Amino acid sequence: MAPTEPKPGQGDKKPDEKKPKIGKPRNYDLGNGIYRFSRSRVYHKKALYKFVGKKVAAAKKPAKALTAVKPIGGEKNGEKRIVLLKKRRNYYPTQDKIKKRPAKKCFKQHKRSLRSSIKPGTILVLLAGPHKGKRVVFLKQLYSGLLLITGPFKINACPLRRISQRYVIGTQTRIDISGVKIPDTINDNYFRRERKKRAKKEEGDIFSTKKESYKVNDQRKADQKIVDKEIIGAIKVNPERKLLFAYLATMFGLRSSQYPHRMKF
């Protein structure tokens, strides 16, 4: 029986040639993002602790030349030219790329702006709150952006308060308070109320505990007297002091056929 000839391509393989084995990595995903080994386990298996704190000095690469000098022939041509090795782009976009910005902006990053009609010493008309309708004196803008105002308390019973500039109308009447010194302690933290934790309810104490009403402390009263004295002193120096005292004491109101958007304050 004649020997069978090998089919084409059958005897081309070498006996020593082997396929590389491709297996799973040691740390593989078991499902739902859970891996076989934890981060700390991989840290010890790879002996990464041996490399912690070791710093290898970066090898300085020789700086590439940006320009080259080329000789130029001919008379009155300067004999040489400095040519850029890397040509500049011939196209530049007309608009800048839109940068990704964080979705939320912290309150401390907000810009504090103040209306141009409101300056220290301006008499404002309050539009909201328990003292709405009263005319008060603007002292300064606090860090939070709120306005620090006072009646003064002796004139119209409006104490030192904070209010947003949305709820005031700035008038053209102004008092010179450049010499008035406001204590540095009067800031946003000064008006923060202390919130006490509720006591645990026990049997029989459901209706016995009552909500405590707000009481003005002695420090507030002392500061109010100091500021009132300074503001009243600034009003007394003004030549129209009698008119200013009456203006601050009276409430603001509208009569029939009077519209605030048509009025000049």
Q: What digits encode the pLDDT tens for the residues 209-251?
A: 566 777 888 889 999 999 999 999 999 999 998 999 999 999 9
- Please give the tally of structural domains in the chain: 1
pLDDT at 1 over 50: no
**CB half-sphere exposure, 28, CA atoms < 13 A:** 5
Residue 133 burial by Cβ neighbours in a 10 Å radius (0-12, 13-18, 19+): middle
pTM attached to this predicted model: 0.56
Is 164 among the domain residues? yes
Average pLDDT value over all residues in the chain: 85
Is 134 among the domain residues? yes
pLDDT at 124 over 50: yes
Residue 141: pLDDT band with limits 50, 70, 90? very high
pLDDT confidence of residue 203: 56
Is 221 among the domain residues? yes
List, in order, residues 6 or more apart from 121 with CB less than 8 Å away. Answer: 137, 138, 174, 175, 176, 177, 178, 234
pLDDT confidence of residue 175: 93
What is the pLDDT averaged over residues 91-115? 84
For residue 153, the tally of other CB atoms under 10 A from its CB is 16
Is 188 among the domain residues? yes
What is the pLDDT averaged over residues 68-97? 88
Containing structural domain, residue 155: 122-193+217-252
pLDDT at 260 over 90: no
pLDDT confidence of residue 19: 75
What is the pLDDT averaged over residues 52-77? 87
Is 99 among the domain residues? no
- At 42, which amino acid appears? V
Is 116 among the domain residues? no
Residue 111: pLDDT band with limits 50, 70, 90? confident
67 phi/psi in degrees, rounded to 5: -130, 165
CB 183 within 8 A of CB 226: yes
Is 181 among the domain residues? yes
Is 114 among the domain residues? no
* CATH number (domain holding residue 133): 2.30.30.770
